[in-house]
Amino acid sequence: MAKLVYALNQSLDGYVDHMAFAPEPALFGHFIDDVRSLAGSLYGRRMYEVMRYWDDDKAEWGDEERAYAAAWRSQPKWVVSRSLTSVGPNAKLITGDLATEISRLKTQVDGVIEVAGPELAQGLTDLGLVDEYRMYLHPFVVGSGKRYFAGPRPPLRLTASDRIGENVIRLTYVPA
């Protein structure tokens, strides 16, 4: 059975803005290994569109970017959307009832499925389907944007904290 893990970078004030801060080399290396270890990724439409950046090689990329792109392309992706009519390579569109579709997915897949996108994560949290939360805290104060948590949720219990590189702390929580 799959474990749904909501993992995302966030600022100290709780915002998730991929344009406000980029991962330092140690964290980027961590993300390459993380993506390689996943059974797949579950995206909302907006986050999936951001991640489609990795579909095509860019001339300016170094070895690390190519390694991340290769890992990302090789894994299955599921995209929850009511507006998209198609998705890219190695991806499946989920348009039906969220609780039914994701519960079925969890029973069909072994390993970790990483959830990306605050609104999707909130919907899955409301359904009791998120098994773990990983917050990668960056030393930035953004001041506005989308929050890591799109709404209230029941209490969490801290299970781990790790320093990754010089400036990022990963906090791992499970529902209490």
CATH number of residue 109's parent domain: 3.40.430.10
- Can you give the pLDDT at residue 19? 81
Contact 84, 98 (CB under 8 A): no
Domain count, the chain: 1
- Can you give the pLDDT at residue 146? 92
Q: What is the mean pLDDT of the chain?
A: 95
- For 86-95, the pLDDT digits (tens) are 999 999 999 9
- Can you give the pLDDT at residue 18? 77
φ and ψ of 97, to 5 deg: -60, 120
- Can you give the pLDDT at residue 125? 96
- For 65-84, the pLDDT digits (tens) are 999 999 999 999 999 999 99
Separation CA 161–CA 135 (nearest Å): 10
Question: Which residues constitute the domain of residue 24?
Answer: 2-175
Residue 112 sits at the vertex; the CA angle it makes with 12 and 172, to the nearest 5 degrees, is 30
Contact 123, 106 (CB under 8 A): no
- Can you give the pLDDT at residue 17? 84
Residues of the chain short of pLDDT 50, as ranges, are none
